[in-house]
């Protein structure tokens, strides 16, 4: 079995081949065999101070944030480890797990790189 390329959208290694396409089972992204991972657009997300954020970085919340459906929110100074950069339609470009809250998407202008 040949090595399948990782998904250019989510980075999953569990892609499979279907005719002339590669398909990612995790995010349902499809791309042609001629398209390479290097041709995928890379997001350049910067924090509130202008520092470049990358997958796996740790960030700190710089403002108290309310969380929909929860009586508690995210307090200023909360440290979040292992963020993931995603393309959000509504500007929420950081996918992460906040201690005490759970999985959530955040806007980059409410965090700073730790």
> Stretch 5-26: mean pLDDT, rounded?
86
Q: Which residue has the higher pLDDT, 11 or 93?
A: 93
- H/E stretch holding 17: strand 16-18
Q: Contact, 64 vs 72, CB < 8 A?
A: no
Domain ranges of the chain: 1-41, 45-113
**pLDDT reported for residue 30:** 86
Res. 54: pLDDT tops 80: yes
CATH architecture, domain 45-113:
Roll (2.30)
**pLDDT reported for residue 39:** 41
Domain 1-41 has CATH 3.40.50.740: no
């Amino acid at each position: 079995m040949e090595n399948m390329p990782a998904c250019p959208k989510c980075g999953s290694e569990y892609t499979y081949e279907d005719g002339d396409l590669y398909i990612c089972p995790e995010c349902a992204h499809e791309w042609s065999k001629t398209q390479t991972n290097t041709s995928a657009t890379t997001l350049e997300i910067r924090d509130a101070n202008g520092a470049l954020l990358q997958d796996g970085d740790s960030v700190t919340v710089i403002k108290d944030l309310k969380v929909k459906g929860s009586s508690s929110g995210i307090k200023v100074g909360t440290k979040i480890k292992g963020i993931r950069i995603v393309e959000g339609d509504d500007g929420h470009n950081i996918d992460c797990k906040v201690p005490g809250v759970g999985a959530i998407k955040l806007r980059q202008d409410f965090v700073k790189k730790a």
